[in-house]
Amino acid sequence: MTAQDYPAEAYALDGQLWWTLPFYPGTKRPYGAVNKIAAWLYFNKRVGDRFTIRELREAVGTDNAPNYQEHFNRRLRELRALGWLLPSSQEDAELRTDEYRVGVKGWHPGAGPRPKFSSRISPAVQRTVFDRDGRRCVICGVASGEPYPAAPTEMAAITIGHRIPQKFGGSDDIDNLQVECQRCNEPMREEAGLPVTFDEVYAQIRRLKRAEKETMLRWMRSGRRSRSRLDVLYDQARQLSPNEKRQLTERLELATDQPSLGQES
């Protein structure tokens, strides 16, 4: 598409195409990659078209150089919070591993200020949700302060998220709230945003062995995955003060005849 083919809303007030702006109009503040990506996709791709990260990097770069921003992929996924649906090969088997497809177009700079999604969840409701969900991420099961199994140097932090995101009409009703770690709560996660349906889940559960179905039944009846008494006690111990944790560690070392980690063998 040539410059003369673009409609008026593809241009900022200074006459530059939105995705070529180095700064916000009239300022020295760098123009963000999210804005550039949204603009370029909106005016250069139709619904159903495919594109690659490399293509995007080249399209929204500056000074004739691709955008080599470290977290560029995350900026693309942030468009999901602005109404875009951009399936990857994980959601669309027809796509190559480096491809995305424009499923639904959302906000772009020419449409006006970026929409904001606000949430006002009271502390009382937050406590209720934390207690209901066992203070663990309902998606991956990690608790605050625990390392991720696949990334042992990264400690998790938990928050309150929406089962159906606000961008899809989700409310702050307590049944739509759940405990999530920050990694699972990030809007740039690979999921399309909408939760799975009953039919999708049950189709897989039907193929389970009887023992697996019985385990699933126990978890469903209790409202959470079964955890041992040690798991529960560890969660309680983690809430002690640093001094109390040291005291507990010392007593456990004495009770098990194990030397302190700082003590020579």
So what's the pLDDT on residue 225?
65
Mention every residue, 6+ apart, whose C-beta is less than 8 A from residue 190: 77, 88, 90, 91
So what's the pLDDT on residue 255?
86
pLDDT tens digits for range 81-138:
777 888 888 777 888 888 999 988 888 998 888 776 555 778 788 888 888 888 888 8
So what's the pLDDT on residue 227?
66
Q: Among 12-26, 79-93, 251-265, name the one with the lowest average pLDDT.
A: 251-265
Give the rounded percent of residues in the chain with a pLDDT score beyond 90: 15
Q: Mean pLDDT over residues 135-149, rounded?
A: 81
Q: Is 79 exposed, middle or buried (0-12, 13-18, 19+ CB in 10 A)?
A: buried
Integer-rounded Cα radius of gyration of the chain: 24
pLDDT tens digits for range 196-241:
667 778 888 888 999 888 888 888 887 666 667 787 787 777 767 7
So what's the pLDDT on residue 192?
42
| pLDDT of 148 higher than 90 | no
So what's the pLDDT on residue 234?
78
Q: Among 4-13, 81-90, 159-168, name the one with the lowest average pLDDT.
A: 159-168
So what's the pLDDT on residue 190?
38
Between 20 and 75, where is the model more confident?
Answer: 20
| pLDDT of 193 higher than 50 | no
